[in-house]
Amino acid sequence: MSEKSEKKQLLHLVLGGELTSLDGLEFRDLEQLDLVGIYPDYKSAEVAWKSKAQQTVDNAHMRYFIVHLHRLLDPASTSGHDD
């Protein structure tokens, strides 16, 4: 078996945008949402998230998030810790 097939694929989405308020999670303009990409594991998603977050550090309303897609696709997987 190859190393790739031994490691379970756990998809993660990185996205961001400008929020309407600093203490909320509502995006100001959904059409301006930055869909950074989908990654095969948390570690690679975290690298992309960190890069985008650092690029927008001067805008307090701009936030980037990591979404655990694998948990949405397979709710039974939420019992384990994948990070």
Tell me: pLDDT of 78 over 90.
no
Q: For residue 83, what pLDDT band results from cuts at 50, 70 and 90?
A: low
CATH number of 7-21+38-79: 3.30.70.2400
- pLDDT tens across 7-61, in order? 788 999 999 999 999 999 999 999 999 999 999 999 999 999 999 999 999 999 9
Token pair listed for 51: 């890069």
**Cα 37 from Cα 16, distance rounded (Å):** 10
Burial (CB count within 10 angstroms: exposed 0-12, middle 13-18, buried 19+), residue 45? buried
Tell me: pLDDT of 1 over 50.
no
Tell me: pLDDT of 66 over 90.
yes
Radius of gyration of the chain (CA): 15
